Amino acid sequence: MKIAIGADHAGYELKELIKAHVTKMNFEVYDMGTCSTCSVDYPDFAETVASAVSQGLYDRGILICGTGIGMSIVANKFKNIRAALCNDLFTAKMSRLHNDANILCMGSRIIGSGLAIEIVNTWLTTPFEGERHGRRVEKINLIERKVIDK
């Protein structure tokens, strides 16, 4: 699985930890910035990661900002993106089982690094359940097409 990861200045340090962890899990990780704690704008990094996942260049994305909210708002503007803001384990698990989320957003100012790593482990290893949830995800895709055509 190929994973794109990005963060703003608030998420930079957690991104570095997650990147090292996910690399150790033997996933292919591509870091799309930011590269320091200098102030930047989260939409720029959400756009880079979400656009790459939307185009199929990466299977999944991970985005980190202070709360995860800004990243999730931006990422969900992109076609084929189901970005889930998960600052707890249950949400991370359900976002995969029921929503087939392909981008994980987290808030570095909300959760500690230990919990963040557990969230990533759960999110990367939980499969999509399909069946009735597949029908619902397909309805999301239909809505996306209708909105784009308007």
Decide: is 65 part of the binding site for ligand RB5 (CB under 6 A): yes
Candidates 28-36, 44-52, 61-69, 117-125: pick the segment binding ligand RB5 (CB under 6 A). Answer: 61-69
Residue 9 contacts residue 39 (beta carbons within 8 Å): yes
Select 69 or 115, whichever has its Cβ closest to ligand RB5. Answer: 69
The CB-of-73 to ligand RB5 minimum distance in angstroms stands at 8
98 in active site: yes
* Neighbouring residues of 9: CB distance < 8 A, sequence distance ≥ 6: 34, 36, 37, 38, 39, 40
Instruction: Please give the Cα distance from 52 to 42 (Å, whole number).
Output: 16
Decide: is 32 part of the binding site for ligand RB5 (CB under 6 A): no
Candidates 20-28, 55-63, 65-73, 133-141: pick the segment binding ligand RB5 (CB under 6 A). Answer: 65-73
Among the listed residues 2, 66, 128, 144, the single contact to ligand RB5 using CB under 6 A: 66
Angle 89-97/113-125 helices, nearest 10 degrees?
A: 20
Decide: is 100 part of the binding site for ligand RB5 (CB under 6 A): no
Select 75 or 100, whichever has its Cβ closest to ligand RB5. Answer: 75
Rg of the chain, C-alpha, whole Å: 14
Decide: is 61 part of the binding site for ligand RB5 (CB under 6 A): no
Select 63 or 100, whichever has its Cβ closest to ligand RB5. Answer: 63
Which positions lie near ligand RB5, rule CB under 6 A? 8, 10, 42, 65-67, 69-70
